[in-house]
């Protein structure tokens, strides 16, 4: 794909996110979240574009690229690397672990052929662990994109993955 088209698209995506969320310090997470949602991740070019557009605004908010990278790398919902079409987030906290989480994790890894943070060669799946999802009462828990699955058993993994074929 033409680099100018990619940069143009990134510029438009960032501009739309800033128009939607504003140019305040509180808007940085929603802006980056919007960019992540539209592009599938937050490329370095997008962070530079956020910095440029926010800094050049009438409000004159200064934000360092390192601050944007810090936000993007801190939150599990954001990614600075391309991810698969479907992202599986597996809760690795103690309540899920105690009720069989390790077996679920091992089954996911075996079915997908992935380790934590990896993406399948066809870019269909990305597998990541995450801290508490907040659904401890129905652990083990995993999210596939925005779909939550609780009380997951190893027998359910093929069926769950099959829903995204």
Could you tell me the CATH number of the domain that includes residue 109?
A: 3.40.30.10
DSSP annotation of 34 reads H
Compute the distance between CA of residue 111 and CA of residue 28 in angstroms, rounded to an integer: 37
Q: 51, 74, 97: which is the final residue of a domain? A: 74
- Tell me, what's the pLDDT at 120? 94
Q: 74, 104, 121: which is the final residue of a domain? A: 74
Nearest CA to 45 out of 4, 16, 86 is that of 4
- The number of CA neighbours under 13 Å toward the Cβ of 99 is 15
Contact (Cβ atoms closer than 8 angstroms) between residue 43 and residue 10: yes
Band of residue 131 on the pLDDT scale cut at 50, 70, 90 = confident
Do residue 43 and residue 90 come from a single domain?
A: no
What does the pLDDT look like over 79-92, one tens digit per residue? 999 999 999 999 98
Compute the distance between CA of residue 69 and CA of residue 83 in angstroms, rounded to an integer: 17
Contact (Cβ atoms closer than 8 angstroms) between residue 45 and residue 7: yes
Q: Is residue 80 part of a domain?
A: no
Do residue 70 and residue 102 come from a single domain?
A: no
Q: 45, 74, 103: which is the final residue of a domain? A: 74
The size of the chain, in residues, is 165
Residue 62, Cβ density class (10 Å: 0-12 exposed, 13-18 middle, ≥19 buried)? exposed
Band of residue 118 on the pLDDT scale cut at 50, 70, 90 = very high
Do residue 64 and residue 97 come from a single domain?
A: no
Do residue 95 and residue 149 come from a single domain?
A: yes
- Tell me, what's the pLDDT at 162? 96
Structurally, the chain folds into a number of domains equal to: 2
- The number of CA neighbours under 13 Å toward the Cβ of 132 is 6
**pTM of the predicted model over 0.85:** no
Q: Is residue 145 part of a domain?
A: yes
Q: Is residue 79 part of a domain?
A: no
Q: Which domain holds residue 47?
A: 3-74
Q: Is residue 65 part of a domain?
A: yes
Statement: residue 6 has pLDDT above 70: no
Contact (Cβ atoms closer than 8 angstroms) between residue 124 and residue 134: no
Q: Is residue 98 part of a domain?
A: yes
Do residue 97 and residue 146 come from a single domain?
A: yes
Is the peptide bond between 140 and the residue preceding it cis, with omega within 30 degrees of 0? yes
Compute the distance between CA of residue 104 and CA of residue 147 in angstroms, rounded to an integer: 17
């Amino acid at each position: 794909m033409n680099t100018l088209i990619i940069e143009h698209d990134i510029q438009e995506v960032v501009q739309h996110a800033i128009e939607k969320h504003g140019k305040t310090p509180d808007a940085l997470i929603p802006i980056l979240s919007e960019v992540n949602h539209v592009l599938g991740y937050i490329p370095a070019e997008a962070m530079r574009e956020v910095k440029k557009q926010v800094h050049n605004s009438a409000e004159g908010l200064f934000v360092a690229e390192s601050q944007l990278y810090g936000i993007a790398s801190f939150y599990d919902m954001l990614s600075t690397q391309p991810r698969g079409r479907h992202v599986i987030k597996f809760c690795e906290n103690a309540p899920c672990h105690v009720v069989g989480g390790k077996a679920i994790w091992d089954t996911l890894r075996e079915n997908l052929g992935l380790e934590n943070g990896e993406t399948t060669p066809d870019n269909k799946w990305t597998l990541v662990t995450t801290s508490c999802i907040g659904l401890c009462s129905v652990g083990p828990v995993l999210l596939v994109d925005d779909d939550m699955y609780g009380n997951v058993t190893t027998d359910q993994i093929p069926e769950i993955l099959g829903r995204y074929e």
